[in-house]
Amino acid sequence: MSVTLDSYEPIVGRQVLDEIRFLAEHLKGRRVLHVNSTAVGGGVAEILNRMVPLLNELGLKSRWEVIKGGEAFFQVTKRFHNALHGRAAEFSRQDFRLFLETNAQNARTLSLEAEALFIHDPQPAALVLEKPRQGGRWVWRCHVDVSDPQADLWRFLRRYIDRYDAAIFSAPQFAKPLPIRQLLIAPSIDPLAKKNEDLSEETIREVLHRLGVPRDKPLVTQISRFDALKDPLGVIEAFRLAKRTVDCRLILAGGGASDDPEGSQVLAEVREKAGKDPDILVLELPPGSDLEINALQRASAVIVQKSIREGFGLTVSEALWKGRPVVASAVGGIPLQIAHKYSGLLSRSIDGAALCIKQLLNNPAYAKRLGENGREHVRHNFLLTRHLKEYLLVLIALEHPEDVIPL
Ligand code: UDP
């Protein structure tokens, strides 16, 4: 059965849907374009998959375009990504030139006609140079943690960001001194996506069997792209410390994204560190492994997200929505999702993460309570319907630049 806005009523209630429809009445027929850099893998693609059809159902004309670029371009933008997350990096003129040339090529091939454009993350940010020719209101939707960006890169990107009508950040600490309007909107998960919908115990069992995951010990799981900023090596260390006192098995599951060229190297490092340890399973997931991720999350005793930097970390809300106890680093948007000792546990080190894992494995009743609180927190704050409503408010606000509309 196809998912429509009404399908969300049992989860969020009638009033939320009525508010969404009321706002959408003011926006009928508006062309809204989302542009990002990958159709699969990563949180942005995850969100747009359902956001775009729902906007259409509400009577807007919504489209999603993905920019194209060569390997060298994505190498550069991955370095941008890391440097925006604060990692030291140097950029040459050639890097910046390649970035601009690829954006210009995409500007020639993509259809950018719309009343409102949401340009996601730095990769397509220079498309805004088309704004004077194309018209429309342009929003830079930043999903990464830019609280401490590398200075040269930020200076370079500001030439483009400053041309937007507004910028949206995921967490308050990412806001920057900018001459444009700034809005704060947290990302969201779709409770009706294959990745998050309810599963029977039988399905979970089948999927784990197919993946070759035994369930004789409690599972401690991190699901993430193989990216150094997700710290999979640190997860292995924390797991080994925890395992000294509580028997358990680690699952590191993930795949790549087409705009992330570093995945295979990180995966090789993970495999090396895991060695022949029979209690560490490294699972490479192909794109579209939504059912597998859902089943793994549901089957886990503890979900870990030991990121070093994180824009938001959708995997945290995904786990909480399934009532799972989560141990996650107190970085980026993660503390929005986890109130320490209420809806999960926040850690700040490998030792801390190990301690939290042990605590949850040793105390299932406490773990269950954290998971239940987490689920309710996600229901009220991080589901797609809240996100949709805030995007509609942004669209209305953009049409009234002279008014201040509280969000
Ligand atoms: N994901 C996936 N396959 C993978 C790894 C991750 O589908 O192999 C999904 C994950 O379930 C989540 C999203 O990709 O929905 C990752 O979003 P998050 O914000 O956690 O991290 P990002 O990858 O955007 O940095």
- Residue-level pLDDT at 407: 45
How far apart CA 26 and CA 246 sit, in angstroms, is 56
CA distances from 163 to 10, 33, 158, 378 (A): 42, 17, 8, 34
Token duo for residue 118? 């949401």
170 lines ligand 1 (CB under 6 A): no
User: Could you tell me the distance, in angstroms and rounded to a whole number, from the CA of residue 314 to the centre of ligand 1?
Assistant: 7
What is residue 175's DSSP assignment?
Answer: -
Mean of pLDDT over the chain: 95
Is the sign of the CA dihedral 182, 185, 186, 192 positive or negative?
Answer: negative
How far apart CA 219 and CA 393 sit, in angstroms, is 41
The domain ranges of the chain are: 5-188+383-398, 201-381
C-beta of residue 63 within 8 angstroms of C-beta of residue 34: yes
User: Could you tell me the distance, in angstroms and rounded to a whole number, from the CA of residue 40 to the centre of ligand 1?
Assistant: 9
Size of the chain in residues = 407
Nearest to 191 by CA among 47, 334, 77: 47
CA angle 374, 192, 33 (to 5 degrees): 105
User: Could you tell me the distance, in angstroms and rounded to a whole number, from the CA of residue 305 to the centre of ligand 1?
Assistant: 11
- Give me the helix-helix angle, 263-274 and 232-243, nearest 10°: 20
- The percentage of the chain sitting over the pLDDT mark of 90, rounded to a whole number, equals 92
Q: Is pLDDT at 124 greater than 80 in this prediction?
A: yes
Instruction: Convert the pLDDT of each residue in 88-113 to its tens digit.
Output: 899 999 999 999 999 999 999 999 99
223 lines ligand 1 (CB under 6 A): yes
Nearest to 68 by CA among 90, 38, 40, 27: 38
Q: Is pLDDT at 192 greater than 90 in this prediction?
A: yes
- The percentage of the chain sitting over the pLDDT mark of 70, rounded to a whole number, equals 99
- Residue-level pLDDT at 118: 98
Q: Is pLDDT at 362 greater than 50 in this prediction?
A: yes
Token duo for residue 347? 């850690």
252 lines ligand 1 (CB under 6 A): no
Q: Write the DSSP string, 37-68.
A: S-SSSSHHHHHHHHHHHHHHHTT-EEEEEE--
CA distances from 317 to 183, 224, 293 (A): 21, 13, 13
- Residue-level pLDDT at 2: 87
For the segment 380-400, the average pLDDT, to the nearest whole number, is: 97
How far apart CA 29 and CA 167 sit, in angstroms, is 23
- Residue-level pLDDT at 329: 98
The owner of tokens 């200076």 is 155
254 lines ligand 1 (CB under 6 A): yes
Give φ, ψ of 167 to 5 degrees: -125, 140
Q: Considering only CA atoms, which residue is closest to atom 10 of ligand 1?
A: 315
Q: Is pLDDT at 331 greater than 70 in this prediction?
A: yes
C-beta of residue 188 within 8 angstroms of C-beta of residue 382: yes
C-beta of residue 32 within 8 angstroms of C-beta of residue 395: yes
* Closest atom, ligand 1, to C-alpha of 230: 25
CATH code of the domain occupying 5-188+383-398: 3.40.50.2000
- Residue-level pLDDT at 403: 66
For the segment 317-325, the average pLDDT, to the nearest whole number, is: 98
Alpha helices in 192-283 (DSSP H): 201-211, 232-243, 263-274
Q: How crowded is residue 9: how many other Cβ atoms within 10 Å of its Cβ?
A: 15
46 lines ligand 1 (CB under 6 A): yes
How far apart CA 13 and CA 405 sit, in angstroms, is 25
Instruction: Extract the runs of DSSP E, i.e. beta strands, from 200-330.
Output: 219-223, 249-254, 280-284, 302-305, 326-329
211 vs 406, residue with greater confidence: 211
Instruction: Convert the pLDDT of each residue in 262-283 to its tens digit.
Output: 889 999 999 999 999 999 999 9
Q: What are the residues facing 61 on neighbouring strands?
A: 31
- Residue-level pLDDT at 404: 57
255 lines ligand 1 (CB under 6 A): yes
- Residue-level pLDDT at 40: 87
C-beta of residue 161 within 8 angstroms of C-beta of residue 139: no
Q: Is pLDDT at 64 greater than 90 in this prediction?
A: yes
Q: How crowded is residue 33: how many other Cβ atoms within 10 Å of its Cβ?
A: 23
For the segment 351-357, the average pLDDT, to the nearest whole number, is: 98
What is residue 189's DSSP assignment?
Answer: B
What is the CATH T-level fold of the domain 201-381, as seen in this structure? Rossmann fold (3.40.50)
Q: Is pLDDT at 288 greater than 60 in this prediction?
A: yes
Strand ranges across the sheet with 249-254: 280-284, 249-254, 219-223, 302-305, 326-329, 345-347
Q: How crowded is residue 168: how many other Cβ atoms within 10 Å of its Cβ?
A: 23
Q: Is pLDDT at 406 greater than 50 in this prediction?
A: no
Nearest to 370 by CA among 330, 341, 335, 337: 341
**The one-letter amino acid at 107:** A
Task: Return left, alpha or beta for 140; rule: phi > 0 is left, psi -120 to 50 is alpha, else beta.
Answer: beta
Nearest to 186 by CA among 69, 54, 336: 336
318 lines ligand 1 (CB under 6 A): yes
Q: Is pLDDT at 86 greater than 60 in this prediction?
A: yes
